[in-house]
């Protein structure tokens, strides 16, 4: 099992999510491209519902990645991914970032690249590191002063982790054996969190 912390940010701190619609677009891309579809997402969106269902049933492909956790921030994004088959992460990230760039540039009448250089990724070595890393990722909006509690941020997987989100983008159960209540307590344990930063500092990527 190959698990990585993946991080990418916009050029020069440019704000890449300007509305709820923008965040939702990226969440749709995260979900759509993990299965390595044939159609571009923009083409898929134009299909009628009945055709979409037929397309999904008849075009089963091998997955590139499994999503373990995510957090979308105004200028960057954090993903924790399992790479199903090399180079799955590179292909996955290329597709979602290119697709979002086309969407965003068209929306605001902009041209040129949106993301800064190559994506950063680092291997997660153990289950313990993975658990602490998910907490770091989920606390990003709190650390940035965007919200007071991680569950107040609508654009991370935290609400799924604690049972407040029905839509499941992440496959948490496959990777982490922890109850929802226990995970919430773990995240809110700020003292232990600060200690854990030393433990995972080489995989934080910021």
Architecture per CATH, 2-203: 2-Layer Sandwich (3.30)
Q: What's the pLDDT tens digit per position in 38-84?
A: 888 888 887 767 666 656 665 666 889 999 999 999 999 999 999 99
For residue 81, list its beta bridge partners: 4, 67
Biggest CA pair distance of the chain: 52
> Is 0.85 surpassed by the pTM of this model?
yes
- Strands 76-83 and 2-9 turn out to be antiparallel
Q: In the chain, where are the structural domains located?
A: 2-203
User: Whole-angstrom Cα distance, residue 205 to residue 8?
Assistant: 9
Q: What's the pLDDT tens digit per position in 103-153?
A: 999 999 999 999 998 899 999 999 999 999 999 999 999 999 999 999 999
Q: What's the pLDDT tens digit per position in 159-202?
A: 999 999 877 889 898 999 999 999 999 998 876 776 788 789 88
DSSP 158: H
């Amino acid at each position: 099992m190959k698990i990585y912390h993946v991080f990418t940010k916009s050029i020069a701190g440019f704000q890449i999510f300007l509305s709820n619609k923008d965040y939702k677009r990226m969440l749709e891309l995260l979900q759509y491209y993990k299965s390595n579809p044939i159609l571009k997402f923009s083409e898929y969106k134009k299909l009628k519902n009945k055709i979409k269902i037929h397309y999904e049933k008849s075009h089963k492909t091998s997955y590139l990645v499994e999503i373990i956790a995510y957090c979308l921030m105004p200028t960057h994004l954090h993903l924790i991914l399992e790479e199903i088959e090399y180079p799955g992460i590179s292909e996955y990230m290329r597709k979602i970032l290119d697709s979002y760039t086309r969407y965003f540039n068209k929306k605001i009448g902009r041209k040129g690249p949106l993301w800064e250089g190559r994506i950063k990724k680092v291997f997660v070595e153990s289950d313990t590191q993975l658990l602490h890393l998910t907490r770091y990722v989920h606390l990003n909006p709190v650390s940035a002063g965007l919200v007071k509690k991680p569950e107040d941020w609508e654009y991370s997987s935290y609400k799924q982790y604690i049972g407040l989100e029905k839509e499941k983008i992440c496959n948490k159960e496959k990777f982490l054996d922890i109850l929802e209540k226990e995970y919430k307590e773990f995240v809110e344990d700020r003292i232990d969190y600060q200690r854990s930063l030393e433990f995972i500092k080489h995989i934080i990527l910021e």
